Amino acid sequence: MLKRLPLDVWIGLVAVLGAGIYWRAATHISISPLDGVINAAVLPKMYAMVLAGLGALLALRALMIRALAERAVARAALAGQAAPQAIAAATDGGEKMPTARENMRAVGMLALGLGFLLILPKLGYVLSVALLVGAVSLYMGAKLGWRHLAVALIASITFYLLFVQLLSIPLPAGFWPSLMR
């Protein structure tokens, strides 16, 4: 019997709500009359659409799993069989709550993101993204080595080329231009 909504439904709904707030904030980005089809608000709005879509998919997936599990339990009951424990747990909202360690890992990822936002104006986009990619991969368990550094550098240069050169989206240059004077 349905006792409560699965945790993934709530997470999906929060993601959709967050996407709506992010979209609303993106609509307030000033647009220059000189901007073309790609302007400063396009990328944030694309992020909002992707977040809303993924949040909705997560919620729908959880509801579909719940419905299938309830159907399996009902069939087992009609056949006079006991429902497997995993199916019964799926129907009563028996998700395991995250452990303190898992919560702290999420807080660590959030701290890395906040650190990126703090260093971005000073160090510039290319160096900040290289440091972010390197730090996140180390945090997730990658081994430090030349490949690790190469991936971080290639990722940052690729994103720079994509946004600045191809899409003409200005990104923070940091203190580097002042050194060239």
Please indicate, yes or no, whether residues 86 and 154 belong to a single structural domain of this protein: no
Note the pLDDT of residue 95: 60
Query: Over 60: is that where the pLDDT of 1 sits?
Result: no
Please, which pLDDT band fits residue 138 given cuts at 50, 70 and 90? very high
Please indicate, yes or no, whether residues 5 and 92 belong to a single structural domain of this protein: yes
Last residue of a domain, one of 68, 97, 126: 97
Please, which pLDDT band fits residue 93 given cuts at 50, 70 and 90? low
Last residue of a domain, one of 97, 126, 155: 97
Domain enclosing residue 47, as ranges: 1-97
Q: What is the share, in percent, of the chain residues with pLDDT greater than 90? A: 31
Tell me which long-range contacts 4-8 makes (C-beta under 8 A, separation of at least 24): 4/93, 5/62, 5/93, 6/62, 6/63, 6/65, 6/66, 6/90, 6/93, 6/95, 7/62, 7/93, 7/95, 8/58, 8/59, 8/61, 8/62, 8/95
Query: Are 131 and 116 a contacting pair, CB within 8 Å?
Result: yes
Last residue of a domain, one of 73, 97, 121: 97
Cα 125 to Cα 161: distance, rounded to the nearest angstrom: 11
Q: Which of 40-54, 83-97, 106-120, 159-173 has the lowest mean pLDDT?
A: 83-97
